[in-house]
Structure formats: C-alpha cells, structure tokens
Structure 1
C-alpha cells in the first residue's frame, strides 16, 4: 500500500491563533492541490512558543483546533495530523498532537511526554501520559512531538507495537539542525520504518527555526527534504517497504528486551 504525504512547513504567527488558522488553512488548501492522503502541520501551530501567554491563548480542551481540523479534513477528504496545539485541560496545559481522519473525525490525541527544559516547557506545560500509537487507512502509525525524538526507547516501544510510520511534529531550532537530521535518520534506521517529520519555518522573538522537514524511508534514506522557508513538501511512502526491510534485517525478532 502506498500513501502520498504532504508536509506543511508553516511560518507561525507568534502568539496569534486567529492569524495561524488563516495561515494553516491556506497551506492545507495548497497541499491538497497535490492530492495527498495525509497532510501534516507542525508543533504548536496555533500559538508558537508564546509560553508566557498560554493562560490567555491556549485552546480549552483543544476544542477550537479540533473543530477547525475536522471541518477542513471533511471538506477536502484528506487525513490530517493537526500538528500539536496548546491544549488547556483541567490539570494544566498540554502540548497535544491531533489526528483527524479524512471523514472529519478525531482519531487520536497524544500529549508530549518529554518536556524540553532548555525552552522552559516544564514551567508552562504538563507532560502527557498516553500512547502515541494510532491507525489511519488501516496502517500503523505513531505520532511524537519534537524533543521526544531524543528518547529512542520511547519511539522503539511504539514501533514494536505496530507502527510502520513515525510522525514527528516540531519547532526545532536552526542552531541544532544537524541533530534534527541525524536523530530522525537514526530513528528510521533503528525502527525500520518511515519517519515523516514536520518542522516549522521562520522565527520568534527568541529563536530561529530550522525548517528541513523530512521524509525518510526504512533504510534511513532521505526521500524528501524541505529548505528553511515556508513550503509544502510532498513524498510517497510504500508500506510494503517496511515489511521488506524488516525481513532482510530481522531486528525486531532478534531483540532481547529481558536484558535491557
């Protein structure tokens, strides 16, 4: 089975959800002209890293974001990874990835488990507790948020539970773009699956972001990579290749988790 992916590498308006809904809608409409099966948005696409104003601009129960994404998915007949949004819950604000099916239904949510202290996330967010595994079009996916990719054991747990493609949404700084590329390629190789990574473009008052969204195959080959600016990146993935690679080098059969 093949699937066409479109990544919306978005330049996010800092702390301005109203403007970001307009930008996201424009980019999704541009992406669907390529007839993709799946469109991916970046991390915190409604707010950016305006953390000090989260009490004001976070989305209560992610309701507005979900409504926008469900309507957009249904109107365009496309599956959406709604990046992640600042999601105000009863316990605090979570950084929540949203998965919407092409018929406009919320399929899955996952809140970022690992909070990045270097950007003060632990002062403004609470960590999630759920699983990142989900299904779309009958295929196994897992969706993660930015800093999660520095924890290979977390991604491996989900690959061992059936993920054939790993989605990563991020606001990864340009300063560490070499880490971004190396970590994503490593996660694809070690889990023998596709990695579909959407980073943001542009800058905010404190950071310049890397862009360089990527699609990587189960051999670790980069099959598509964006530049630094706002753009739509497209690529086709073939789930048969996951089975092929895992058959050639049977990493999952040879694991000995009782020892680690």
Structure 2
C-alpha cells in the first residue's frame, strides 16, 4: 500500500491505494490536509473511512497527518465484530520529517492505547529535495502501545506476524470501549 496524487473530476486527492491479494483495490483519500505545507490549497479532502478485511484482521488505512486527529480515528463499538470494535489494526503511511519525530512516535502509541488496537506505521527515510530530513521510525505496536518492531533511519523491510489472541484478550480484560461516548462525524 502507499499513497499517490490522483486527479478525479477536476480535483486532486492524496489517495492511499491498497491492493489486496485477490486483485481488488481499496482506496482512501486523506482526510486531514497539512495546512502548513499548503495541502488544503492543492488537494480535496477525503470523507470515507474504509475498513479492509485481510486474513481475519479489520484494517483502517490512513495517511500521514491523519495521525493527529483522534476523533477521526476513533475505534467504534461494533457488536457484531470479533472483539467488539470496528477495526483491529490501524495502518499509517507517512511523510513525517525529523523535526516532528517525537510527536510521530508518541501519537502512534496514543492511537494504539486509546483505540485498543494494533498499529503499523511506515514513515519516510532520507532527505527530500528541499533538504528536509526524515527519521523513519516505522513501527508495529501492540494495543498497549508497546513496540513489536521499531525501525530506524535507514530503509528496511521486515515481516511481522500479528497474532489476534493478545489483542482480543486485552480487549476482554480492559473493555474501555464499552464506556466510550457515542457520537458521529457530520460534515
């Protein structure tokens, strides 16, 4: 998965494309546009939160700056789902620069903990054409915000096998989602 600029009906979108093993593609248009870089002037805002099912996991894919918006990422009660919530894994593809490295790392942990979910986050490494450095810090976290994998500043490829049992056991022991306020987002 990754995100690319897509032009559709006269508007540009920062679109995450998820190609599934069966050949189907799910798309997610970035909801929160990074104003400090003028994204709100060049892109249209997305509005849907697609949940992709893969090998028994319900995955919510997101792009970069969306990480800063916990209401948008709120894992909602879903009685019919195993574990009682609408997703099990929060996936981020990102372009967070070195100066915001601390926020990236802390917000990933916060999203895992508050949503009782695993988090997989892939961030850029190296230097861009404007001389801005990217620290990487890609990671996979459990629902307690503890790292299962943490990568550094260099480009790396790792494989992580996630087991749903610890996630479901944690949700059963600590069902904070049952006390969460119900609300919906309205545009």
Corresponding residue for residue 82 of structure 2: none
CA shift for structure 1 position 234: 2.8
Structure 2 counterpart of 1:105:
24
The answer to whether 1:188 aligns with 2:112 is yes
Structure richer in helix, relative to its length: 1
2:94 counterpart of 1:170: yes
Residue of structure 1 aligned with 2:7, choices 69, 88, 96:
88
> Is 1:159–1:191's contact at 8 Å kept on the other side of the alignment?
no
User: 1:225, 1:233 within 8 Å by CA — same for their partners in 2?
Assistant: no
Q: Deviations over 1:17-36 (max 9, x none)?
A: xxxxxxxxxxxxxxxxxxxx
**Structure 1 residues 159 and 93 mapped into 2: Cα distance closer, same or farther (>3 Å)?**
farther
Give SS of 2:178's match.
Answer: helix
In the comparison of the two structures, how many residue pairs are matched? 176
Which residues in structure 2 correspond to 1:147-162 (within 5 Å)?
Answer: 147-157=65-75, 162=86
Spell out the pairing of 1:196-215 with structure 2 (5 A cutoff): 196-206=120-130, 207-215=132-140
* Per-residue deviation, residues 61-88 of structure 1 (Å, max 9, x unmatched): xxxxxxxxxxxxxxxxxxxxx2111111
Q: Is residue 56 of structure 2 the alignment partner of residue 138 of structure 1?
A: yes
> How many angstroms does 1:208 deviate by?
1.2
Match in the other structure for 1:255: 180
> Counterparts in 2 of 1:18-33, with a 5 A limit?
none
- Consecutive unaligned residues of structure 1, counting only runs of 5 or more, are 1-81
Quote the residue 1:22 is aligned against. none
How far residue 157 of structure 1 moved from its aligned partner, in angstroms, is: 4.5
Partner of 1:217: 142
User: How far apart, in 2, do the equivalents of 1:220 and 1:101 lie?
Assistant: 27
- What's the offset of the Cα at 1:238? 1.1
Q: Which moved more, 1:244-253 or 1:129-138?
A: 129-138
Task: Say if 1:132 and 1:144, in contact at 8 Å, map to a contact too.
Answer: no
Task: Tell me how far 1:196 sits from its aligned partner.
Answer: 0.3
1:126 to 37, 44, 48: 44
Q: In structure 2, what is the equivalent of residue 55 of structure 1?
A: none
Aligned-pair CA distance for 1:221? 0.4
Shift of residue 171 of structure 1? Answer: 0.5
Q: Give the conservation status (yes or no) of the 8 Å contact 1:168–1:196.
A: yes
Is this contact kept in 2: 1:142–1:158, CA < 8 A?
A: no
Contact conserved, 1:132 with 1:158, CA < 8 A, in 2? no
- Residue by residue over 1:207-249, the C-alpha shift from the partner in whole angstroms, topping out at 9 and shown as x without a partner, is 2112010000011101101111111133221112221111111
Superposed counterparts of 1:2-81, under 5 Å: none
C-alpha spacing 1:232/1:199, structure 2 compared with 1 (3 Å):
same
